[in-house]
Copies of this chain bind each other. A is one copy, B any other.
Amino acid sequence: MTFEITNKDAMGRIGKLKTPHGRVETPTLMPVINPNIDFIPAEKMKRFGAQILITNSYIIYRSGDLRDMAVEKGLHRLLETDLPVMTDSGSYQLMIYGDVEVKNAEVVKFQQMIGSDIIVPLDIPTPPDADYSRAIADLEITIEREREASRLIKESNSENLLAIPIQGSTYSELRKRSAEESKKIDGDVYPIGGVVPLLDDYRFSDVVRIILDVKSVIPSSYPIHLFGAGHPIFLSIAVALGCDLFDSAAYALYAKDDRYLTPYGTKKLNELHCLPCSCPVCSQYSAEELLKIEKEEREILVGEHNLWISFEEIRKIKQAIKENSLFEFVEKRIRSHPSLLSSWRQIKNYSTLLEEYDPSTKRQFFYTGIESIYRPAVSRHHERVKNVELEKDEYTISTSSENNSDFYLKPVFGVVPAEMNEVYPAGHAEMPPVEYIENEAVDVAVNALRSFLRKHHDKKFIIRADGVWREYLIELPDNAVVE
């Protein structure tokens, strides 16, 4: 097995990806190394937490010197690193310049020859909102090239891993078709491509939909790479939706214009009164001091900060997976921008998919807002309560856990049988009281109560309701009395 999953939460997971140059713990971020530019060197990347790097084989291929050196010494000695290195194929250049001077087989073989750990075929990253006919034509070429790459790798019997990118522009059906075709090809890593323009435009809803479309097709055991995504603002969402690998050129590109990454957005260095970070750069310099440092050195310092904060975010996400609090973590992060908030709230339309992935037992349920209602723990609870069988003729339901009752009524969860009131999720749920919680959280509970009462129409229920609850407990079936 190339990819082994060790921990799960939401649709996210911690995994181990086996590469020719060693194991990589996912989720992780691959810093982009541009072999033409002397910036933060590959050898220094471990210090920030990098376990794997990514570089562009097309750039190496096109530059006589680099190419000769790579062919002679291999990719890893060219970059002076013993970390695994993934190589891109020129697809990015294809997207930017519309053309590349290399053929698929040629660039795949070149990546093999120089010893890339993860090879990418020359897929076509169709931009968002492309004509449907173009998107489909591009996709057909992409699929053909992926098949060719797979044949080449198999023939040579080499140990390099193969990435099978998934394209299809912003069309759900094409993304799904691309995923269907990709999963038939024997790959090791499944990148979702063509999302960078969407992320740059804060079109997070489109990216969330694309990821969910792909995940609804690709088996859970396959590692997913969200190609070109590396800004910490989106990492936790992408991981929670089941992405495992990310790559960041942002750390370097943003540093060029004094753009300082944070998990809640990008800041211009000169807008910062205080540095909102304690990384080795930000604990040594103030914002004012950084601005006084000459450009070239400052660019490296900002680039280093950008790496520190990106890997800090990766560690926070991994910690959240370990303690099964990834939903809670994401629900905080999406408050960094209203577009993130709406993008995440689309999960309410994918409850079946989420239920397939999310572990059914956790320690705690912290309510943070209406999107907490969309967690699988809630729908599973409602399902379980539907299957409860009743033997007595009369039951008590209380809105307060202090009263001893047969059932309890809770926001979000609705009817909670006494035996479920001690265990996860309803029994381990913390949420604001009815007067401070969102209407939706009470409505979902009252609707569940109504269904429950109707289902058990031959039983009688005495509901002991406190304060604000009484305002909500209206239009109940006749077999219930509110006391």
Contact = CB atoms under 8 A, between A and B. Distances in A.
A132 interface: no
Nearest to A331: B335
Contacts of A276: 312, 315-316, 319
A370 interface: yes
Given A264-B332, A438-B439, A430 B338 contact: yes
Nearest to A430: B338
Interface in A27-70: none
Contacts of A370: 369, 438
A241 to B, nearest CB: 16
A477 interface: no
Interface string A220-248: 00000000000000000000000000000
How many copies of this chain does the complex contain?
2
Interface string A411-455: 000000000000000000011110011111001000000000000
Interface in A294-311: 308-309, 311
A465 interface: no
* Size range of the chain A interface in the assembly: 35 or more
Nearest to A365: B338
A232 to B, nearest CB: 12
Contact of A273 (B318, B346, B367, B439): B318
Interface in A274-302: 274-280, 283
Q: Which of A312, A328, A337, A338 has the most CB of B within 10 A?
A: A338
Given A272-B319, A332-B332, A312 B366 contact: no
Contacts of A345: 432, 436
Contacts of A274: 315-316, 318-319, 322
A363 to B, nearest CB: 11
B273 A322 contact: yes
A270 interface: no
Contacts of A318: 273-274
Nearest to A202: B430
Contacts of A316: 274, 276
